[in-house]
Each structure stands twice: as C-alpha cells, then as structure tokens.
Amino acid sequence: MSLYLIAEIGINHNGDLGIARQLIDVAADAGFDAVKFQKRTVDVVYTEEFLDSPRESPWGTTQRDQKEGLEFGRADYEEIAAHCAERGLDWSASAWDVEAQRFLQEFDLPFNKVASAMLGHRPLLEEIASERRRTFISTGMATLKEIDEVVELFQGHDCPFELLHCNSTYPMAETDANLRCIPMLRERYGCSVGYSGHESSGIKVCVTAVALGATVLERHITMDRAMYGSDQAASLEAAGLGSFVESVRTIPQLLGTGEKVITEAEQAVREKLRVDVSD
C-alpha cells in the first residue's frame, strides 16, 4: 500500500482564503496527496457564555470574534474545492459537530477525518460512520477501551477506517511520540494505522513512523510558524515541505522486501572480489 500524505491546514489559514490557497499550492508542489481543514458550527460547539467572554485577536475582543474569524463558509469551500481540483489534490475537513459534518457531506469528499477531541462525541461518530466513507480516526488523548468503542461503532456501520496514532500536545516533544503504538494498534484492530504528528519541526518522527509501517501521515503545515494561531508552532513550514515529502516517500523503497537476494550490481562486484576457497 502506498503512503498517503495529508497536509493539515486546519485553521492555520487564519480565515484568509488567500493564505489557504497558498497552503494548498505549497502542499501540491511538495507532493502531498491531500489537504485537510477544520469545520465548526460556532454556536453549536461553544456556549453563548464562552463566546461572549473576552479574547484579544486580530478579529476583535471576544471569543466569538476569534472563532467566527477562523471559519470558512460555503463560498469559501467551493473555491477551495475548485482550487484543489485544479492542483490535483484531495481535500477534506474534520467536523466538530453534526451540523458541520452534514455541511461537508454536500461536497462528496474522498475521506472523512475524526479529530482526537471528537472520539467521545457519539452523535458525530454515528453521523460520520453512517456515510460509509473512508475515514481516518486520530487516537490522541484516548484509552484503548475508548478506541475499542469507536472501532466497534465503525465496524457496526461497515464503514472503512484507518487509525492514526497521535499524541495531542502542541507542539509535541519528540520523546513523547511512542511510535511502537503503530504496530500495536495494527495488531489489536487488524487495520491499517498511520500517524498524525504535532512535533514542531524535523522529520525524524515521521520517518520512524513510516519505517514502523504507517500507511498515512498527517502533518500540520504553515507558511510561517510565527503567524498568529495555536497550531502554527506545531506545523512544518512551507520552505521545508518538499524535502519532507521526498524523505518519507523514500522509506518504503529503502526498507525493501526483506528477501535476501544478490542484486545485479552486487553480482558484478562479487565476480571481481568474491574469494571461494575449498579444502
């Protein structure tokens, strides 16, 4: 199975469609397979009391100003869909409420994504699983018992899914990656397992994840980690995306088949250097 690479734009576009297009372009140029956003119905996800509380942001002085400033509407997503099609990229978004998921259904997306924070949102999980669309399920902040319940739900709906090992800290310390969970989850659930990463920089963790059999990689991307936003510091910057993709896509080739054979190039060296001495 070939490696599927998702560039997580999330809310790193800061509500600016121009930045979103730039991020789509750099993901396409680097060789990703897909980009992913996040979709919330603000008045459903958050209480009125919370939305009225103070928060300084580029959009105003309340939590509502900030949350609504980060959201794209229908016209925005129609433009995103058109631009991704033009660049040959799949796209999707992780919904944080049932209304948002039903909004996304209208775009007939190639896959769904369950964010780690949503593993306890039973109505949303039921809505997603009922679509029977390929779904990536992040497992950050979850116990095995909680993952068992989510897997059982998706199996009950006959919905194809892949788990993503994840540590939900932003940014994640590399020593917290615990990548041996990838083969553990694969053995426990009999499914493909990928990795969703929030480390601040570098490729070591993702390279190791692929070496351990990850079939999907999801990484946050940004134009600049110094930009406004809680996810920017846990993202890969645009300038390094090409080398990142090249490195992780090379790993399956480097691992080979595990079958011990003498290659043609090695045979030529053997004929020059091999010493065979019999008694």
Task: List, for residues 40-86, the tens digit of each pLDDT value.
Answer: 999 999 999 999 999 999 999 999 999 999 999 999 999 999 999 99
Q: Are strands 60-62 and 54-57 parallel, antiparallel or unpaired?
A: antiparallel
Residue 96 lies in a domain: yes
Write down the pTM of the prediction: 0.94
Q: Is the pLDDT of residue 258 over 90?
A: yes
Query: What is the number of structural domains in the chain?
Result: 1
At 200 the pLDDT is: 79
CB 251 within 8 A of CB 261: no
In a domain, residue 60? The reply is yes
Is the pLDDT confidence value at 202 over 90? Answer: no
User: How do the residues of the chain divide into helix, strand and coil, expressed in percent and rounded to 5?
Assistant: 45, 20, 35
279 lies in some domain: no
Instruction: Report how far residue 261's alpha carbon sits from residue 242's, in angstroms, rounded to the nearest whole number.
Output: 32
Q: What mean pLDDT is predicted for residues 156-176?
A: 95
Domain that holds residue 35: 4-273
201: pLDDT strictly greater than 90: no
Length of the chain: 279
Task: Give the tens place of pLDDT for each residue, 89-132.
Answer: 999 999 999 999 999 999 999 999 999 999 999 999 999 999 99
pLDDT at 1: 60
Give pLDDT tens digits for 120-147: 999 999 999 999 999 999 999 999 999 9
12 located within any domain: yes
We report the CATH number of the domain holding residue 138 as 3.20.20.70
Does residue 278 belong to any structural domain of this protein?
A: no
Measured between alpha carbons, how far is 278 from 95 in angstroms, rounded to an integer? 70
183 found inside a domain: yes
Tell whether 158 is covered by a domain: yes
Task: Tell whether 195 is covered by a domain.
Answer: yes
**Angle separating helix axes 17-30 and 74-87, nearest 10 degrees:** 20
